[in-house]
Structure 1
């Protein structure tokens, strides 16, 4: 498996001949990609799905299967982008021979009084888990974990506890476009230093991860 980070929470996952793009949001650079087998969207926030850029991406990849959470399916249909496959908690879908499993129902809460939205995390090929915007601990083993390293809905202690609970073999940071690069180390070093024994934590911004 080859995992290329395209900014923020956007990942290009290449596995067994399939090319799967996850969370093509406004803070990510995925324009011009072709040959995609699937496009996965965890939830409807603009930093995880840029609707207009998605429209162009699908036009350039007519054979790609679009897989989204239930809330995003309604949003895209209203925007004139029909045909999305909906994946929820416990659902499984084959994307060009690669198994994609859905996990979780809710976006991490911002505040007790704020309305919440649906969020589906994805386990890809039984190896890589992309949680979207949630820190819900899955009830299955995770080999490679994409870690939302900083967010307005979490603190660094919650992030550390999430990585400790999941105990992946390899972890790397996502959801970091909202801070300046010189601040990466504040978050990365904390998670790395307090993370579980046996987990390798590394940044993959400049070099794809091959596992």
Structure 2
């Protein structure tokens, strides 16, 4: 399976001629990410994880495109794209389904706390083909199953470095790659990645930096 990272939280997976995209948000190159996509998985409603106009446009241009998202996101998309209502699916935590040949399991349920006065929204973490785990904006660890490839939210208003490291240690995937890094400059990213790489290695996780547009086989 080919994994391509786009800016911030957007990741594109390709396998057997099929394309699955996670979190095509407003910080990312949604046009490139969504090109020829068969399905989109959305973790939660924040704009840096879903560019609603871009996804609506993709649904209009690609009549076979499916979108899977938490109920509130799905409802908004149905309002914005009534012509694609049957192709927009609600997703709940602790469920499993298949999207264009990719096996998907879901975890979590809530966005990590930013501040007590900021409402918590629904958030779904997705495990693809028992391999790639995208947690969205949370540090929920999949229960009862191993993760081979972890996508790590390295920086956000809701996390700190120690929590990032503990998440990597807790999941113990063989490999880890960064997501959620658009708010960092090069210096800040290098500092955080240094901690994650050094401490993660003690527990068997190889952390590898990816820039936007970089691809790896996983």
Global fold match (TM > 0.5): yes
Q: What SS does structure 2 have at the residue aligned with 1:141?
A: coil
**Aligned counterpart for 2:140 among listed residues 125, 136, 143:** 136
Paired position in structure 2 for 1:210: 217
Paired position in structure 2 for 1:117: 121
Distance, in Å, in 2 between the alignment partners of 1:187 and 1:97 is 35
Gaps spanning 5+ residues in structure 1: where? none
Contact 1:159 1:191 in 2 (8 A): yes
TM-superposed deviation, 1:53: 1.2
Q: Which moved more, 1:67-76 or 1:132-141?
A: 67-76
TM-superposed deviation, 1:110: 0.9
Gaps spanning 5+ residues in structure 2: where? none
Q: What SS does structure 2 have at the residue aligned with 1:57?
A: helix
Contact 1:73 1:86 in 2 (8 A): yes
Distance, in Å, in 1 between the alignment partners of 2:146 and 2:203 is 15
Tell me which stretches of 4 or more aligned residues in structure 1 moved more than 6 Å: none
Paired position in structure 2 for 1:17: 17
Distance, in Å, in 2 between the alignment partners of 1:121 and 1:97 is 18
Give me the TM-score of the superposition, normalised by structure 2.
0.91
Q: What SS does structure 2 have at the residue aligned with 1:105?
A: strand
Taking only aligned residues, the RMSD between alpha carbons, in angstroms, comes to 1.5
Distance, in Å, in 1 between the alignment partners of 2:81 and 2:16 is 32
TM-superposed deviation, 1:207: 2.6
**Aligned counterpart for 1:165 among listed residues 155, 165, 170:** 170
Distance, in Å, in 2 between the alignment partners of 1:209 and 1:175 is 18
Contact 1:69 1:88 in 2 (8 A): yes
Contact 1:24 1:48 in 2 (8 A): yes
Q: Which moved more, 1:10-19 or 1:139-148?
A: 10-19
Q: What SS does structure 1 have at the residue aligned with 2:30?
A: coil
